[in-house]
Amino acid sequence: MTTGLRNTYLTCVLALLPAVSFAQNGPTVRWNNIAGVITAPGVDNPVAGISSGAGPWTATRGKAQIDLSNGSAFFEVEGLVLNGGAATGTAGSVGNVAGTFICNGGTPSQTVRDTPAVPLSATGDALFLGTLGGMPATCLNPLFLIRVVPNTGSPTRWIATGVVRQTDAAN
């Protein structure tokens, strides 16, 4: 990501983050870091029925958050790149990603909500700040994934996940 684009992202996040923080009325789930999928090429590592990417990925840093009462959502990742093969250290052919928030994963009441697609830079940086509808107030085992969005538009395989989860009770 260029310095100018990174500064623009940072300015937007810093300007909008207080609005998101003050809008929190209910349970909030945070992931304090983002980790790439660690899997051998061609080996599937599904989470909540969603297949993993076709190879290992790594991330420098990132975070995600959702307010379950109003759907305010945020994620950012830096350095989400392939970790193996000829495209090591780059985002390869992945141009867009989406954040996927999952409640009650792997149960009949599983709820999956995807953010709109956002660009993934050649150096693996992406940012989303917005609102998702339809999140349940009760969310057991909340999960966060970053998924590839091909040109056809719908998220497919996951390539990174939120780690170090923290849940805050309603205010």
Q: Tell me, what's the pLDDT at 56?
A: 94
pLDDT of residue 152: 79
Question: Looking at the predicted structure, is the pLDDT value of residue 15 above 60?
Answer: no
Task: Encode pLDDT of 46-74 as tens digits.
Answer: 999 999 998 899 999 999 999 999 999 99
pLDDT in tens, 103-117: 998 889 999 999 999
Domains of the chain, each with CATH number or no CATH: 3-168 (2.60.40)
User: What one-character-per-residue DSSP string does 27-84 give?
Assistant: -EEEEEEEEE----TT----BTTBPBPSS-EE-SEEEEEEETTT-EEEEEEE--EE-S
Query: Does 124 or 151 have the greater pLDDT score?
Result: 124
Name the pTM for this structure: 0.84
d(CA 18, CA 86): 41
* Residue 14, pLDDT above cutoff 70: no
